[in-house]
Amino acid sequence: METPLQKNDLRLDITNKQILSISLPISLSLLVPFLNFTANNYFISGLGEEFLGTAGITGVYFLVVAVVGNGLNNALQSLIARRAGENRVDEIGKLFAQGVRIAAVMAAIGIALTYFLTPLVFHSALQSQKVDANAIEFLQIRVWGLPFLYLFQMGNAFLVGTNNSRYLMIGTFIEAGANIFFDYGFIYGHFGLPELGFNGAAYASVLAEFIGMVTVYGLIFVLKLHQRFHLFRYKAYNKQLTNLILNISAPLIGQFSISLITWLLFYILIERNGKFLFPMEPERPLAISHVMRNVFMITGVFVWAFASTTNAMVSNIIGQGRKEEVLLLIKKIVNLSLSITTGMVILFNIFAPELLSFFKLSPEFIDAAMPPLRIVTVGMLFMSFSVVWLNAVTGTGNTKVNLLIEFVTITLYIIYVYLVLEVFHLNLIWAWASEILYWISIFVMAYFYIKSGKWKGKVI
């Protein structure tokens, strides 16, 4: 018979079954927003290539702003998983309360920056005045979903860190369903809603993120997890825990921000050089690149689930005092991630025309997108194992190393992309080959850091 102690034991093992029990629900929780994102682009593609290209700019920008939530999510998840491994349940509620407080403040800052700084950046960086105006108007609506997104991510961090990832999919399914409904309604004026065109996607996302947040916290209350982990008992500001969360999350926020700002730069450079890449249709390279990002995200659903699992499990195993088993755990997760990605890459290459035709674009567009797609699938293979090693570094708690790895990698990436697009004006195949360079660099540094064992003395 299971004792109360066994029932409440939050310590994890390193079997494939345990890995999949955590990663598969995370995959589903990521798959639903991806389907939501894809549906969004499907509806926007009906407005024309111009708006599809603009969606590439706004999508990457919002990822940059949302990355603060990702950094807090990963930090809080790692800390909660560490306390779970140590079976210090009371500390989990204290950490969660401070995480929510930080998320609310960061969301307010993100909204302010989008209104006062972003227009200045876009005015100076973008060539097309139409793309500039559409992007700014869209983002100043879209950014109001940021508080709901951040709080949603804090709830997800709690569920994963306490080995309750199986409940993630409920909130994300409901959020995605709401987003698709409002997307179709607001973009085209169906279901009695006003026809708002491109901006309709922004309103839809804000409403869906609010619904997603309410659902996740509703689940926490219905399952009485707030009682078990004392989530709302500790409402006062705790300077020590706030500093701990910020010390872990700040390098991650820096890491993610550098990465995504660079990706935004990549899109801006493609927009600036469209006349060289496709002289007759200068907006096409940006639209193709936006579709490539969609394709990348299909694999990313599963790869980032394994990455999140790595973060939580490495931290939990270290919390149990089983540091000598970390390498074995990483290798098991890498094998699973690489195997699934390889299968997907084979399918993508066999059914590439069918995949691209989903976006209702012209045969000429599909023909032009085929070569970059081949390169993108190669990049997926490198991503599948590199991101696992990188998140193992996150799980150790030494996130300053993550930031250093990202900084070195991005320096190489920017030099490469600048030379390819601004200096030599090479085609999109060479531009998207930058993903291979990026992930090889990430892997080499993360691998040698973990193998060095220098992380074993880190205490969080």
Got the DSSP string for 76-125? HHHHHHHHHHTT-HHHHHHHHHHHHHHHHHHHHHHHHHHHHTHHHHHHHH
Q: Is residue 371 packed enough to be buried (19+ CB in 10 Å), middle (13-18) or exposed (0-12)?
A: middle
CA angle at residue 376 from 393 to 380, to 5 degrees?
A: 35
Nearest to 167 by CA among 309, 307, 25: 25
On whether residue 388 sits in a domain, the answer given is yes
Asked if 390 and 310 count as a contact pair (C-beta separation under 8 A), the reply is: no
On whether residue 200 sits in a domain, the answer given is yes
Q: Which two tokens stand for residue 35?
A: 């389907």
Neighbours of 166 (CB within 10 A): 15
On whether residue 1 sits in a domain, the answer given is no
| pLDDT attached to residue 34 | 64
Please tell me the distance from the alpha carbon of residue 193 to that of residue 376, in angstroms, as a whole number: 38
Amino acid at 171: G
SS3 210: helix
| pLDDT attached to residue 9 | 62
| pLDDT attached to residue 2 | 38
On whether residue 5 sits in a domain, the answer given is no
Structural domain that includes position 117: 11-457
- DSSP-derived letter for residue 454 is G
Please tell me the distance from the alpha carbon of residue 90 to that of residue 245, in angstroms, as a whole number: 16
| pLDDT attached to residue 251 | 87
Please tell me the distance from the alpha carbon of residue 442 to that of residue 383, in angstroms, as a whole number: 9
Please tell me the distance from the alpha carbon of residue 428 to that of residue 424, in angstroms, as a whole number: 12
Asked if 216 and 171 count as a contact pair (C-beta separation under 8 A), the reply is: yes
On whether residue 403 sits in a domain, the answer given is yes
Q: CA-based diameter of the chain, in Å?
A: 73
End-to-end Cα, the chain, rounded Å: 35
Q: Which two tokens stand for residue 51?
A: 């708006």
Q: Which two tokens stand for residue 34?
A: 């991806």
Please tell me the distance from the alpha carbon of residue 370 to that of residue 31, in angstroms, as a whole number: 24
Please tell me the distance from the alpha carbon of residue 431 to that of residue 440, in angstroms, as a whole number: 16
Nearest to 392 by CA among 440, 446, 444: 446
Asked if 235 and 387 count as a contact pair (C-beta separation under 8 A), the reply is: no
Q: What's the number of domains the chain is made of?
A: 1
**pLDDT tens across the length of the chain (460 residues):** 333 334 456 777 788 888 888 777 777 666 655 666 677 777 887 777 678 777 777 877 887 787 788 788 888 888 888 888 888 888 888 898 899 999 999 999 999 999 998 888 888 877 778 888 888 898 999 999 999 989 998 998 888 888 787 888 788 888 888 988 998 999 899 999 999 988 898 999 899 999 999 999 999 999 998 888 888 887 788 889 999 988 888 888 887 778 777 877 888 888 888 777 776 777 788 888 878 887 887 888 889 889 988 988 898 888 888 899 999 999 999 999 999 999 999 999 999 888 888 766 778 888 888 999 999 999 999 999 999 999 999 889 888 898 899 999 999 999 999 999 989 988 889 999 999 999 999 999 999 999 998 888 776 6
Asked if 311 and 80 count as a contact pair (C-beta separation under 8 A), the reply is: no
On whether residue 2 sits in a domain, the answer given is no
| pLDDT attached to residue 23 | 79
| pLDDT attached to residue 449 | 95
Q: What is the CA radius of gyration of the chain?
A: 22
Instruction: Collect all residues with Cβ–Cβ distance below 8 Å to 83 and sequence separation of at least 6.
Output: 89, 91, 92, 95, 319
On whether residue 4 sits in a domain, the answer given is no
Please tell me the distance from the alpha carbon of residue 416 to that of residue 132, in angstroms, as a whole number: 26
On whether residue 380 sits in a domain, the answer given is yes
| pLDDT attached to residue 3 | 37
Alpha helices in 143-283 (DSSP H): 146-161, 168-188, 198-222, 225-228, 239-272, 274-277
pTM of the model: 0.74
